Structure 1
């Protein structure tokens, strides 16, 4: 029988496999109803995203990569309800530029679902490749809605 640490490592691997398949619906569905995803930094895509926002945006997340965005896990380590993952992505953006990003993800699980993920990445690369047309506009991050 798996302990919490082992179970969360398996779930984190499933999450990263869905990311590698560019299956944004499967990714969003791994989150608890109150789960959030945080993209660090001050870029146009930085902010806090709810599960509902992730599902609404699911079709467009990988759209700028017509041949897909491959994700390679370099390492994972778990402690209790958290799993830390080092990841590298590689794909050709619609602009023709290669997007080779390096990430650190911290995933927190509850009852087999993600309740929080925090994505640390090279924000300058995000700005130069993903947000080029928005270089002069201030970041407009999503914010989590307060519970009633």
Structure 2
């Protein structure tokens, strides 16, 4: 695939994240694909690598409960099979809980599918959001 086609696929994936269109997003992930947050799992529960099923559980579990959510791409850079995105998020809900974060995500593609995604974010922003959530 061309770099431009890879960028198009990644921008579609980012729009699916923003829309929380999980079926369309997971259709773009290769069956052998991985999604990694390069944080220690013993210190940040969302950290570490996930296979496609783990990615589905992670993203649906974290993003699903928002009442409002936006994932805004600010820059896209591509070379060979890699596309890097700088983005920010804003979310509200459930209730009055507020979330925002900064992201640097590297996508690797193979045959038009996401094969390896490495997502860097501020884990303290995630924890600050989780602390606002009502406890059961």
TM class by shorter chain equals 0.7 to 0.9
Per the TM alignment, residue 63 of structure 1 is displaced from its structure 2 partner at its CA by 2.4
Aligned residue number for residue 99 of structure 1: 99
Q: What RMSD over aligned residues (CA atoms) do the two structures have, in Å?
A: 1.9
Aligned residue number for residue 38 of structure 2: 40
Per the TM alignment, residue 48 of structure 1 is displaced from its structure 2 partner at its CA by 1.1
SS in 1 for 2:24: helix
Q: Larger Cα Rg: Structure 1 or Structure 2?
A: 1
Bigger proportion of residues as helix: 2
Instruction: Label 1:97 to 1:61 Cα distance change in 2 as closer, same or farther (>3 A).
Output: closer
Bigger proportion of residues as strand: 2
Instruction: Label 1:54 to 1:100 Cα distance change in 2 as closer, same or farther (>3 A).
Output: same
Aligned residue number for residue 71 of structure 1: 71
1:17 maps to which of 15, 18, 22: 15
Per the TM alignment, residue 131 of structure 1 is displaced from its structure 2 partner at its CA by 6.0
| Cα distance per residue 1:39-89 (max 9 Å; x no partner) | 12241111211112234556433223123x101100001000000000111
After TM superposition, the score normalised by the length of structure 2 is 0.85
Aligned residue number for residue 2 of structure 2: 4
33-42 or 80-89: bigger deviation: 33-42
SS in 2 for 1:34: strand
Instruction: Label 1:59 to 1:88 Cα distance change in 2 as closer, same or farther (>3 A).
Output: closer
After TM superposition, the score normalised by the length of structure 1 is 0.79
Per the TM alignment, residue 130 of structure 1 is displaced from its structure 2 partner at its CA by 2.7
- Any stretches of 5+ residues in structure 2 without a counterpart? none
